[in-house]
Each structure stands twice: as C-alpha cells, then as structure tokens.
Homo-oligomer: A and B are copies of this chain.
Amino acid sequence: MSSKNAIGVFDSGLGGLSAVREFLRVLPNEKIIYFGDTGRVPYGTRSRETINKYALQDARFLLDKNVKMVVAACGTVSSVAGNALEEALSVPYTGVVNPTCYTAARVTKNGRIGVIGTSATVNSHSYKLRLQKLDPALEVFEQACPLFVSLVENGIIHRDDQIVRLVVRRYLAELKENGVDTLILGCTHFPLLSEAVSDFMGEGATLIDSGRETALYAQKVLGEQGLLTEDTEIKTPEFFVSDTPEGFKSVAGLFLGRDMEHAVTQIDIEQY
C-alpha cells in the first residue's frame, strides 16, 4: 500500500460531505475519493441486513479505487455495519462512532453526554455502548432526531427560523433538562444545524462534530502506519454518486461549505 493512495470516504448520501469538509481542512494534502449512495439513500430507515449489504458494496467500490483507508462518514453505517466492515476490509477502517466517543469521553466534565442521530443510529445504541465501554461511569442520554435530516435537506437550517427552533426544542428539551455538558452530533447532517442546537443548549454544552473527530482520527491512524502522504501539493477530491448527478452541486456545496467546482461521476453500485 502506497502513502500516495487516496482516502476513501462514503456515506448513504451527501451528508458525509460535511465530514469531507473536515478532511479537507485537516488533511489538505491527502487525495479524498468520496462515494455518496444517492441512488439508495436514506439508509437510516432500512433494515440491518440491507444496511450491511449496502455498506459492503460501498466499501468495495472504494477498494476498487485502491484507497489506503476506508471511512464510513455516516452515523447509521458506523453504528449498524461497523463490525462487518472492520472484519471484511484489508485496509484501515473507521466509522464516525469510535473517534467521536473518544473525544466526548475526554471533554465531558460532569460525565453526562447526549447523543443525537437518526432513529437507526439511536436504536443501535452504538454511541452509548462505546462510551460506556470507555468509561462505565458515564451517563449517556440518547435522542433520535429524524426530522433534522429533512430540515437540512430542505435548507431549513437558520438559527432564527421558527420551525428550526421549535423542532430543536422538541427533540433536545429532555437532554438539556438532564444537564448534559457534551452533545454528540451523531449524524453527518447535523453540523448544519449546530448554531440552532448551540443556541438552545446554551454555553454549558460542547457540541462534538463526528466528521471533524473522524478526520483527526484518520490522520492519527495513517500517521502511525506511515501512510500519510509526503506530497505537499493540495489535492482535488473526486466525487462519485449512484443516482444521476442532477442537483448534486447545490446540495454538495451546502454540506462542503464552499462552492463545488469539482466533477461528479455516476456509477452502478449494484455491481460491487
């Protein structure tokens, strides 16, 4: 495996691009190959069996591109299919759960951590189980926020939007009452609502962005294995999707936090 190979990042759709944004910040010299399974999104409402099958196909597509590491930038995949991926892959793998939990466990002062994500993520209790393995004394409060995904995808994200404020309050009131001082944004869509979430939770709560923690973790793992590139050129990421790329650029720009200037290629994921 060459250190010049790319890092492969995938998600059930385009939410994972919020993690790519963090990879581009943390590892600007690494080539990123992103696959968004836009033809089969969302995974969050599908069965465990289906999510496993899809995740393995997504990873095989990236391996076909000779990536040196596979990253599932998706709370649902990391939670449901993480073990299957770890066992099946011949290159380093990380989901978003482990890196995020390490950081949350380190930064909490009162030991009360909140976790928000899709229903599939929360029902899997993946963050809670991981956190309590790191430190059995941690108290973990979980809340599914399925409507957050739709709000983000429909661009209803402004901190002053009354709908945003109401939905945030509906989902987070109990976590706030429980006095969490650390809140894991366990879905790659959620960083786009971080201002509104932060407004509601107040200054006493630290938000943990799973994409950022995962990028930092990937840097550490690749560094330990001597697989960080020595090439100092800034690389252009490559993007692949499984539905037609219509409308990709506008949504991608939203998650990436910058204008999308890059080409995007459609592939047939069922062949992997």
Contact A166 B156 (CB under 8 A): no
**Is A162 among interface residues, defined by CB-CB distance under 8 A?**
yes
Contact B166 A243 (CB under 8 A): no
Assuming A163-B170, A166-B162, A166-B166, is B150 touching A47 (CB within 8 A)? no
Partner of A39, one of B38, B46, B149, B153: B46
Shortest A63–chain B CB gap in Å is: 23
Q: Which residues of B contact A156 (CB under 8 A)?
A: 147
In the complex, residue of chain B having the shortest beta-carbon distance to the beta carbon of A50: B243
**Is A167 among interface residues, defined by CB-CB distance under 8 A?**
yes
Partner of A150, one of B46, B147, B170: B147
**Is A179 among interface residues, defined by CB-CB distance under 8 A?**
no
Give CA–CA (A77, B98) in the complex, Å: 41
Q: Which residues of B contact A167 (CB under 8 A)?
A: 163
Give CA–CA (A146, B38) in the complex, Å: 17
**Is A203 among interface residues, defined by CB-CB distance under 8 A?**
no
Scan A123-163; emit 1 where CB is below 8 A from any B CB, else 0: 00000000000000000000000110111011010000011
Shortest A249–chain B CB gap in Å is: 14
Q: Which residues of B contact A146 (CB under 8 A)?
A: 150, 153-154
Contact B40 A244 (CB under 8 A): no
Shortest A267–chain B CB gap in Å is: 13
Assuming A147-B154, A150-B146, is B243 touching A47 (CB within 8 A)? yes
Shortest A133–chain B CB gap in Å is: 27
Contact A246 B151 (CB under 8 A): no
**Is A270 among interface residues, defined by CB-CB distance under 8 A?**
yes
Assuming A162-B166, A166-B166, A270-B270, is B246 touching A47 (CB within 8 A)? yes
Q: Which residues of B contact A49 (CB under 8 A)?
A: 244
Contact B46 A243 (CB under 8 A): yes
Top 7 A-B residue pairs of the complex, sorted by shortest distance between their CB atoms = A150-B150, A47-B244, A146-B154, A163-B166, A47-B246, A46-B243, A147-B150
